[in-house]
Amino acid sequence: MSAFQRARSDEQRASRRQSILETAAVMLDEMPVSALSLNELSRRVGLAKSNVLRYFESREAVLLELLAHAATEFLAEVGEALQADVDPSTPAITRARDVAATLSASFAARPKLCELLSAQAGVLERNVSTEVVLKYKLGARDSLTGFAALLRQVLPEIQRDRSVQGAQMIIILVGALWTHSHPTPPVLAAYETDPSLAFMHQSFASALNGVIVTFLLGLTAQGSDSS
């Protein structure tokens, strides 16, 4: 490992932070969040762990920032997909199904985002300071309100407050279903041993599509009833 050279300028510090984030992102292509260690991240970046900690206070802080970046990218891309896939002239039930299909396919195409969402509350929001969490939560708030706005564009039947509720619940469902659809080897072996358990092991995209459809139809019905 080369000798540590302190970054002198804001540009150098930003470049080093970006290098750490990019290395962590590559590692997540190879392993789950649970296997990504600060020691290995430091080794791959080419810095001592103490030097990595100059830029991020913990492994979890690195991963929270990765999640924030991934969410921002997803929001920009899925907005375009929804506009292309959802015909505003069709009935609400058809639009809800089209929205669910687009969202489930978009999330399934981004395993890194789903993996991070599945670990957010139970792992990533621990071992971090209030300052780090506050920065993340403020960004997450903006992402959720942006996501809610996208939902209202294609499903105007949903009231504003319920669209925010819908956006938040979809994110929670993504994290939960990602975990359940990617069982550990012993659990997968149990499913294969007893066919009566097969229904418990649904594909991520299929399960997500089904629950989003159900949830969105409920929200559109509530909007109609209150109008």
Domain ranges of the chain: 1-56, 58-226
Do residues 161 and 144 touch, judged by C-beta distance below 8 A?
no
Q: Which long-range contacts (CB under 8 A, 24 or more apart) does 183-186 make?
A: none
Do residues 20 and 56 touch, judged by C-beta distance below 8 A?
yes
Each of the 227 residues of the chain gets a pLDDT tens digit; together they read 444 456 566 788 899 999 999 999 999 999 999 999 999 999 999 999 999 999 999 999 999 999 999 999 999 999 999 999 999 999 999 999 999 999 999 999 999 999 999 999 999 999 999 999 999 999 999 999 999 999 999 999 999 999 999 999 999 999 999 999 999 999 999 999 999 998 899 899 999 999 999 999 999 988 654 44
Class of 58-226 per CATH? Answer: mainly alpha
CA distances (Å), origin 34, targets 81, 95, 113, 200: 31, 37, 14, 23
Strands (E), 116-199: none
Do residues 147 and 75 touch, judged by C-beta distance below 8 A?
yes
CATH 1.10.20 for the 1-56 domain, yes or no:
no
For residue 1, the model assigns a pLDDT of 43
